[in-house]
Amino acid sequence: MELKDRIKEKALALGFDLAGVTTAALLDENSRRHFENWLGQGCAGGMDYLGRNIEKRFNPAGLLDAARSVVCVALNYKPSRDIPAGAARVADYALYEDYHEFIKRRLSALADFIAQTMAGKNIRFKICVDSVPVAERALAQRAGLGWISKHHGLIHPTLGGQLLLGELITTLELPADAPFEKNLCGDCDNCLRACPTGALSETGNFDGRKCISYLTIEEKGDIPQGLTVKIGNRLFGCDECVSACPYQAAAPVCANKEFRFFPQRYILQPGGILNWTQAEFEKIFKDSAVERLGLDRLKRNAHVCLQNQSS
C-alpha cells in the first residue's frame, strides 16, 4: 500500500470520518481576494484576529518551514438524538467535549505514526484546528473532502455538513488527492431561507455581524437591539443553515463513540442559568467550547433567550 493510503487509513482508524491530502502550496488567489473583500466590507465585525497573519492563512508553508503537504481530516458530529423543544439551544458541536483538544490529540497520534514509519528521516509537523490562521475550508476542498456550499460550510455528499475540520501540515512530500471540484448545491436555497437574520444572502455573501453564531459566541459587548429578537432560544451558536440542508438530513449520525457527548447540555432553561455560580457553570460546560465564552457572556445570552420567551 502507498504511504499516503496508509496515512489516510490510520487517520480513519484514529476515529476521523474523512482524510485527504493536498500540497502545502499557496491557496488560490481567488480565495485570498474573497477573504480580503469580506474583511474590507466589515463582515468580520469585531473578529479582529482574522485580519492578522493574512499571509500565513493562505500559505501553509508560512506556518511550518519547508512544508510540502497537508493532511486534512474531518469528524462527523451529527448528534444521534433529537433535541427536546423548549430548552435553550446549544449548538450541536458544543454538546460534545471540546473538539479542539479531541482533534489535536488524534492529529498528534497521526504525526507519531508518520514519524515512526519514516524513522530516521527528520519529518516535522504543525497541527491546526480552528484557531490557527489557516483557511481550513479551502484546504479541505482542495484535499477532496467536499465542496464549499451556499451556507459557506464544507459539505461531503454523504456525510453532510456537520463536519469539524483539522489539518496536519508536514514537511513530508505526499502525492495530492484531487480537489472536490463540483458544487452540489444546485438550485437549492434552503439554508438562505432558514437563516433567521439574513446573514446569508442570494449574492453569496455572508455577513458575520448578523450571524447568531457570531452574536452569541464572538460578540464581546451587548448584542445589538433589533437582532436580539432573531436569536430566539439560541444560547450558544446556531445550526439553522446547516440543519436545513438536504445533505444534512440524509447524513449518518456521529459514529465516534470516543467523542464524548453531554446530554445535560440540551435541557438547560435560560432562567436557571441566570442564577448559576461559576461552579455550576463549570459542572456543565467544563471541557467544552462554551467554557471559553465564560459565565458572564453565557448569562447575557440567557437573558436574551428569556426575553424572547416572554415576548
Chain contacts with ligand SF4 (rule: CB under 6 A): 149-151, 185, 188-191, 194-197, 199-200, 211-213, 238, 240-241, 244-247
Q: With the C-alpha atoms ordered 186, 188, 194, 200, is the resulting torsion angle positive or negative?
A: positive
Q: Distance from CA of residue 164 to its chain's centroid?
A: 5
Contacts of 177 (CB under 8 A, 6+ apart): 20, 21, 22, 143, 144
C-alpha cell at 216: 452569541
Residue 283 to residue 281: CA distance in whole angstroms: 5
- Which residue has its beta carbon closest to ligand B12? 237
Radius of gyration of the chain (CA): 20
- Measured in residues, the chain has a length of 311
**Contacting ligand B12 (CB under 6 A), which of 88, 164, 176, 244?**
164
| Closer residue to ligand SF4 in complex, CB, 161/166 | 161
Active site residue 65: no
Q: Give how many residues touch ligand B12 by CB under 6 A.
A: 37
Residue 113 to residue 9: CA distance in whole angstroms: 11
Residue 180 to residue 272: CA distance in whole angstroms: 46
Site string for ligand B12, 41-70 (x = CB under 6 A): ------x--x--------------------
**Contacting ligand B12 (CB under 6 A), which of 239, 288, 290, 300?**
239
Please report how close the Cβ of residue 275 comes to ligand B12 at its closest, in angstroms: 25
Contact status: 71 vs ligand B12 (CB under 6 A): no
Residues forming the active site = 130
Residues that bind ligand B12 (CB under 6 A): 30-31, 34-35, 38, 47, 50, 91, 93, 129-130, 134-138, 148, 151-154, 161, 163-165, 206, 208, 211, 213-214, 217-218, 237-239, 241-242
